[in-house]
Every structure is written in structure tokens, then in C-alpha cells.
């Protein structure tokens, strides 16, 4: 299965892996307290989940050194981030406000099928390359929003 198609099959797991990779990229490490802030989940719950993800072979959880991703965890995290970026890129074409886009994407990224994601990716690519088509669609969009 291509990387960009993968999820863990669980919304919570996907969110953890996604945020752990963001933290590692930002700070070089992912500590439970930072994961807890990003996901707005208590530190105790975060620690429990990290132990579970460690057992499943998706992260390496070391109490004092932070959490790293295994190869498997990393490929799922990258796929979720790719989904997030593709869906965001598509919705941003339509001037939807950023908070709405973020909320919608956080839901959609877990549930959209592979086939639909690839259709949205193709559509986003095409509309970015063809501003006239985008403008034509947006003229209908504004009418229907009035």
C-alpha cells in the first residue's frame, strides 16, 4: 500500500502519531507534556496511550527521554500529515476560514477513503493549475452561500 494511503485504523492513534511527528520536527523530541498540550488530553492519558503504542510497535516510549516513532509509526504519521496537507490545500482554494478548515480536516483526514483522497488530490492539482476553472466554480460557490 502506498505510504500516502495509510492510517492506523484508529482516530486516536492517528492523532498521536501525527502530533508526535510534528513535535519531533519542531523540537527534536516529543515529551508527554507537549503531546498533552497539543491534543488537549491529560498527561496521565497520554502516558497510557504511549505505553499502548509502544506495545503495538508504533513508538518507543522512554520515560525520561521522550518518545520516538518506529519505522511503522513514522510511515503512518507521514501518511496522516499528507492527508492533512492535501485536504487543507483543497479547501483553501475556496476561501473557507482557517479555523473551519482545520476542524473539518482534523475529522476528514481519518475517515476519507483512499480513493476519495486521490480524487481530491487530483482535483486540487487541476484547480491550482487552472485558475479559470477555479474562478468559475467559486462564482457558483458564492451564489449558493448567500
Q: Summarize as ranges the residues that interact with Mn ion (CB under 5 A).
A: 84, 109
Look up cell 457558483; give the residue. 140
CB of 15 or CB of 66, closer to Mn ion: 15
Tell the smallest beta-carbon distance from residue 105 to Mn ion (Å). 6
Residues 6+ apart with CB under 8 A from 61: 50, 51, 53, 54, 67
Q: The cell 492519558 sits on which residue?
A: 45
The single-letter DSSP state of residue 9 is S
DSSP annotation string for 17-71: HHHHHHHHHHHSSB-HHHHHHHHT--HHHHHHHHHHHHHTTSEEEETTTEEEE-H
Q: Which is nearer to Mn ion, 19 or 67 (CB)?
A: 19
Least distance between Mn ion and beta carbon 133 (Å): 27
Nearest residue to Mn ion by CB is: 84
Which CB atom, from 46 or from 87, has the smaller least distance to Mn ion?
87
CB 67 within 8 A of CB 30: yes
CB of 92 to Mn ion, least distance (A): 14
Nearer to Mn ion by C-beta: 4 or 134?
Answer: 4
CB of 80 vs Mn ion, minimal distance in Å: 6
Amino acid at each position: 500500500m502506498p505510504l500516502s494511503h495509510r492510517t492506523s485504523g484508529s482516530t486516536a492513534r492517528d492523532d498521536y502519531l501525527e502530533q508526535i511527528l510534528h513535535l519531533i520536527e519542531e523540537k527534536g523530541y516529543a515529551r508527554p507534556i507537549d503531546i498533552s498540550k497539543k491534543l488537549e488530553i491529560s498527561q496521565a492519558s497520554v502516558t497510557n496511550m504511549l505505553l499502548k503504542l509502544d506495545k503495538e510497535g508504533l513508538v518507543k516510549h522512554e520515560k525520561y527521554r521522550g518518545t520516538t516513532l518506529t519505522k511503522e509509526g513514522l510511515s503512518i504519521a507521514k501518511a496522516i500529515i499528507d492527508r492533512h496537507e492535501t485536504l487543507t490545500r483543497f479547501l483553501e482554494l475556496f476561501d473557507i476560514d482557517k479555523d473551519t478548515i482545520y476542524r473539518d480536516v482534523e475529522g476528514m483526514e481519518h475517515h476519507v477513503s483512499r480513493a476519495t483522497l486521490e480524487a481530491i488530490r487530483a482535483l486540487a492539482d487541476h484547480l491550482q493549475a487552472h485558475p479559470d476553472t477555479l474562478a468559475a466554480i467559486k462564482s457558483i460557490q458564492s451564489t449558493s452561500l448567500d
